[in-house]
A and B are shown apart, each in its own frame.
Chain A
Amino acid sequence: MAMLQLVTFQLGKAHYGLDIHFIKEVNPQPAMTAVPLSSDEICGLVNIRGQVALVVDMAVVMGFPPVKQSVTHQVIILKVASELRAIREIDIERPELFGDKPMGFLVNNVGDVLTLDSSELEPPPPHLNKEQINLYRGVARLERQVLQGTRLEQIVLQVLNPEAIVQWCHRASNTLAETAKKKAMTL
């Protein structure tokens, strides 16, 4: 059985996990440069040691209203295509989605790294629509203290599918461009 190593974080009260293999680093509060005219989910650009990373607001991807960057926010920087291709441990179907320029997610409360057996994953909750279901690999019910400071409780950890999320971002900006084009045409 394949073991999953997940970096956990929070959005609002919900807990999320992201496969550690896709993650290059977690960066606490980098200086963010806003990008006017970009689509809603884009928070801005950050400088990761000479490389410019595009930061996406994970809350918007998950269907929440956009968040303002605060003290508890951190940026999870994803690996780029070439780095993902070098990974042997897991199969990545479409590393090219991740491009040659780094991308990151603005999230809250990055916590521990969890190890799960992938058989523990259950299908995502049924109330999600088709598009949203795509973004999940599944959910795991954990009955332990997942994050520091939380009581022992049952936690639903939503395990995300990085490829689907990156794809979602591409699509979101494409949609924006198309609406803009249509608007320009009608004008």
Chain B
Amino acid sequence: MDPELEEIREEFVAEALEQLATVEDDVLALERGGDAVDPDVVNHLFRAIHTIKGGAGFLTMEEVTKLSHELENIVDRIRSHQVIPTGEVCEVLLHGLDLLRQLLSQPANDTPFDVKPMLEALATVCPAADTPAAVLPAAEKAAPKDTAAEPDSPEQQATAEDAQKTAEQRPVKQPQTAQIPITAPVDKTNGAAPAAAGMDHTAPQRLRVSVTQLDNLMNLVSELVLVRNQNTQATDAKDLSKLLAIGQRLNMVTSDLQTSIMQMRLQPVRSVFSRFTRVARDLARQLGKEVDLQLIGSEVELDKNLIEAIGNPLTHLIRNAVDHGIEDPDKREASGKRRCGTIWLRAMHQAGQVKIQIQDDGKGIDAETIKQVAIGKGILTAHQAENMTEAEAYGLVFRPGFSSAEQVTNVSGRGVGMDVVKSTFQRLGGVVDISSCISIGTTITITLPLTLAIVATLIVEVEQCCFALSQSSVAEVVWLHSADCYQKIEQVNDQEVFWLRDRFLPIVRLSKVLKVDKTFIHPDTGQVLPDRRQQRGDRRLRGPRVDQPEVHAKSVDRQDSVDRGGPGDRRGTPERRGPVDRRQSLANSFFIVVLKLGSERFGLLVDRIIDTEEIVVKALHQQLELCQAYSGTTILGDGRVALILDIPAIAKLAKIDHTNLERELLNQGMNSAERNHPVLLFDLGGPELFAVPLFLLERVERVATSEIQMVDGREYITLDDVVLPLVRTEQALSMSQSSYSSDEIFVIVPRYHHPIGLVAANILDTVEIESTLDSTTISRPGIMGSALIAGKLALFIDIFAAIQTVENSWFGNTNNGTQKRALVLEDSVFYASLIRSYLRGAGTEVVWQQNGEEGLVALDNEAFDFVISDLEMPVMNGFQFAQSVRKNDKFRELPMLAISSIEHTSVAKRARQAGFNGFYSKLDRNGMLSALGEMIAQPKVSMVWEDS
């Protein structure tokens, strides 16, 4: 055997033995469980054996392959409930595992033990074609007494004897395995088991270090000693300036020391990568394929622990790529590809992390096929599959028990492997991503931290307790302060959600998950008191203001019950309250740390962000592992101990259910679009406050009055080489009050079909308002309606209408016979005004109705070029409306566009089924407006579906 292979073999054996050490418990657990097979246990057992089989297959350890294949078969059938793990079955399994261990520990060149008797024993206990019904009587015949208590049934004895012939060590080992079922449960309760388990893993590990590195380290250490000596001297002399210099030197020496130690732990990935050339070649040959494996970035360095741990999962991925990814040479040729398939294995540094990528140019993964297989295997319901995106479908391959290969072969297709791959990388703090394109190939990307020992973290604080969060899972941090703390977080059933840029984010209060008592510091007395507020709806200081804080607290509890329920509460604009109101004070703030958890996100609500810190991870005490919330401990810069939060565990503790939440939001029709609208506030120098929805605007510019040019009695300015005619807002609204500064004005440029500028005197602010627009109180041309913003009445300008009134006076009415007519169905006044104003801006005549029924009447009476309809409306919703419309032959070709604030593929699908030509989310305001634009330009063009 060549030395390269020998090295691989050694590694494999070490790993396999380690794995075997962990599966014995699984078998015993299966035995204890009897009929009720725990899927986790059986999966773990199956994976371990499968991994060994895979490795052995590659190393041509025939006996091991055969034996593990048989063992795997039995476990597979236990998994599918075809075989019940009786005492007898488990006994044979255990013996099989023992034999496997012996085979593995054998020196490579020894004659392997004969596995035949064991194979026979395995076949007897679990005949290949037999149903469980047939197995059971046989087992009972063989072991009439309780098999677990009486392991010496005749058949088992035969098995044991068979095995004995094959191994001399056998008698020593066998009694141990027989004892374990009785002793293990006892051990666990008195705490000895973990300690014993810990001792199993004390195999000595060595690392080869170059002498240069060691010398360098020695050098640094002697430097450190020197610094210490100087420090002692300087301290004795109380020489502050010298101490400062020493501090600086210490700083440098420590960082140098840290880098060199870390450097020692790093190894090039070449040591793992190089073995794959052979893995790929051998497997390709076996399968009659041609594969070229390209290694790129072998020099990239990774921590030794990681290098060792990624070997097995990467082997799986490479084998998968060869087996499932690359097609047969003939097939490849037929589809115009090179006969020889290529697999690229890349390693690269990216943003302080290491990326490993396996890319093949094979047939790719068909998301539909995956879904079908998943449905067939009962992993997925047909309904779930329908709503699944491609990315989610690819994720299915990582589920236990999934395999799309039609044939279960010795190579792969057992449906294990991928889930092992994922869990292994996750344990290492890595992330696995999969992307694919049919007939082009599949790319699997693994992102790993550089090292496990030092982690970049974000230190957060909750109630004076510090916790560390791994930065690799932090997406961003949101700071909420004063009133926002209570107004921006909504309640959906039991779950709090936060609208982060139009997407909902489930909120987990760290204090709640960890059951830490909430407190607040009273602004006047400085006392720490328990905080009784439960949620944002608690407005403790509502109602008539009384200056006695105690009275407040009491009157509030009564007020709460009134406040919480009513939907009207949500719509109220913030009222200015006195300094007594804690909610309004700047000191009242918290942070939402947005955490990535696979493809999902959630927000962790904490009191304070302390800092980012690179920490040295220390293992958790065994007693604390049981809390299932922490992944380790660390010592912070100030010497305090901090716990490292285990993010998946926290999510689990908080019981976030994204799917359920989404459904709930759908049901309640809650959505951000009808909630927060950013608007621009400005004035014309007069007392009136004006508002324009921000997303209707392209830009806002401050312009010196000297730049305004007068041509033919009209004003123009030039912005970025574009000449804009200016519209004086007061003119457009036929208002007289305005006083502009003599130096400068502001030009508001809306999204319009030609460049134009609206003039404002002062830009005041951008605020978010809730979409309750009062269109009755103030009504005049060019005004959409009014709303209270921070206690002041603001006028919403119908910007396009306003511009048009001015333009009409300039150019005369441009309306002629070609004007398009649109029917708009929308129950929200705000949105209706918005769409109307936009459509009118584009020269379309608009008829607005509030629900489907009114819409049908309008369609009967008038002719329209196209219809734009909301989906959620009272009386008759958009779906019903579209269905009724399409029933009428006259309207078969009528272009209809659905808009909705619910952004979900299922909604888009339903809309299409109902008969709409297109669907746009209100959340995607720009997309929606441009879709409207297209509709106006060419109403007959079939719309592109946006639901992919």
Contact = CB atoms under 8 A, between A and B. Distances in A.
Nearest to A177: B626
A61 interface: no
B167 interface: no
A-B pairs with lowest CB-CB distance, top 7: A170-B191, A36-B514, A177-B626, A173-B623, A96-B195, A45-B641, A33-B641
Contacts of A39: 623, 626
Nearest to B643: A35
Interface in A72-119: 81, 94, 96-97, 99-101, 103
Nearest to B196: A96
B410 to A, nearest CB: 38
A128 interface: no
Contact of B189 (A35, A42, A171): A171
B635 A101 contact: no
Contacts of A37: 514-515, 627-629
A38 interface: yes
B191 A54 contact: no
Contact of A167 (B188, B191, B515): B191
A170 B639 contact: no
Nearest to A36: B514
B191 A52 contact: no
A166 B192 CA distance: 11
A97 B628 contact: no
Contacts of B635: 47, 50, 52
15 contacts: A31-B640, A31-B641, A34-B465, A36-B515, A36-B516, A39-B623, A44-B641, A45-B621, A45-B641, A54-B624, A99-B622, A101-B618, A101-B619, A171-B189, A171-B191
A156 interface: no
A34 B643 CA distance: 9
B190 interface: yes
A176 interface: yes
Q: Which of B190, B619, B627, B630 has the most CB of A within 10 A?
A: B627
Contact of A171 (B190, B627, B630): B190
Contacts of A176: 626
Interface string A21-56: 000000000010111111100101111001110100
Given A39-B623, A52-B641, A174 B628 contact: no
Given A38-B624, A180-B628, 17 more contacts: A31-B641, A33-B640, A33-B641, A36-B516, A37-B628, A38-B623, A47-B641, A52-B621, A52-B634, A100-B198, A101-B619, A167-B190, A167-B191, A170-B623, A171-B189, A174-B191, A177-B626
Contact of A38 (B465, B466, B627): B627
A169 interface: yes
A33 B643 contact: yes
Interface string B607-639: 000000000001101111011111001110001
Contacts of B199: 96
A182 B642 CA distance: 29
B189 A174 contact: yes
A103 to B, nearest CB: 7
Most buried by B among A81, A169, A173: A173
Helix, strand, loop or mixed for chain A's interface? mixed
Contacts of A94: 192, 195
Interface in B498-551: 514-516
Contacts of A96: 192, 195-196, 198-199
B628 to A, nearest CB: 7
Nearest to A45: B641
A39 B635 CA distance: 22
Interface in B396-437: none
Interface string A47-70: 100111010000000000000000
A47 B622 CA distance: 17
Contacts of B623: 38-39, 42, 54, 169-170, 173
Contacts of A166: 191
Nearest to A102: B621
Interface residues of A, number: 35
Contacts of B619: 101
Contact of B621 (A33, A50, A54, A81): A54
A35 B195 contact: no
Nearest to B616: A50
Nearest to B639: A47
Contacts of A51: 618
- Among B466, B618, B621, B635, chain A packs the most CB atoms within 10 A around the CB of B621
B618 A33 contact: no
A115 B633 CA distance: 38
A173 B621 CA distance: 11
Contact of A173 (B626, B634, B640): B626
A31 B642 CA distance: 11
B195 A97 contact: yes
Nearest to B622: A99
Contacts of B198: 96, 99-100
A155 B618 CA distance: 42
B629 A36 contact: yes
A34 B626 CA distance: 15
A35 B640 contact: no
A97 B192 contact: yes
Contact of B640 (A42, A47, A100, A174): A47
A45 B634 CA distance: 10
B811 to A, nearest CB: 70
A47 B638 CA distance: 11
A103 B634 CA distance: 16
Interface string B847-885: 000000000000000000000000000000000000000
A186 B441 CA distance: 46
Nearest to A168: B191
B739 to A, nearest CB: 60
A103 B195 CA distance: 15
Contact of B642 (A33, A36, A97, A101): A33
A36 B510 CA distance: 10
Nearest to A169: B623
Residue of B192, B516, B639, B643 most packed against chain A (CB within 10 A): B643
A133 to B, nearest CB: 16
A97 B191 CA distance: 8
A102 to B, nearest CB: 9
Contact of B633 (A52, A81, A97, A171): A52
Contacts of B465: 33-34, 36
B633 A45 contact: yes
Contacts of B618: 51-52, 101
- Most chain A CB within 10 A, of B191, B627, B642, is at B191
Interface string A158-187: 000000001101110110110010000000
B512 to A, nearest CB: 10
Contacts of A169: 623
A173 B623 CA distance: 6
B344 to A, nearest CB: 43
Contacts of B629: 36-37
Nearest to B632: A52
A50 B626 CA distance: 23
A99 B770 CA distance: 58
Interface string B632-676: 011100011111000000000000000000000000000000000
Contacts of B194: 170
Contacts of A103: 621
A169 to B, nearest CB: 6
B195 A99 contact: yes
Given A38-B624, A96-B199, A174-B626, A31 B639 contact: yes
B59 to A, nearest CB: 35
A99 B622 CA distance: 9
Contacts of B628: 37, 177, 180
Interface centre among A36, A46, A47, A94 (most CB of B within 10 A): A36
B580 to A, nearest CB: 32
Interface in B188-213: 188-192, 194-196, 198-199
Interface in A112-131: none
A187 to B, nearest CB: 9
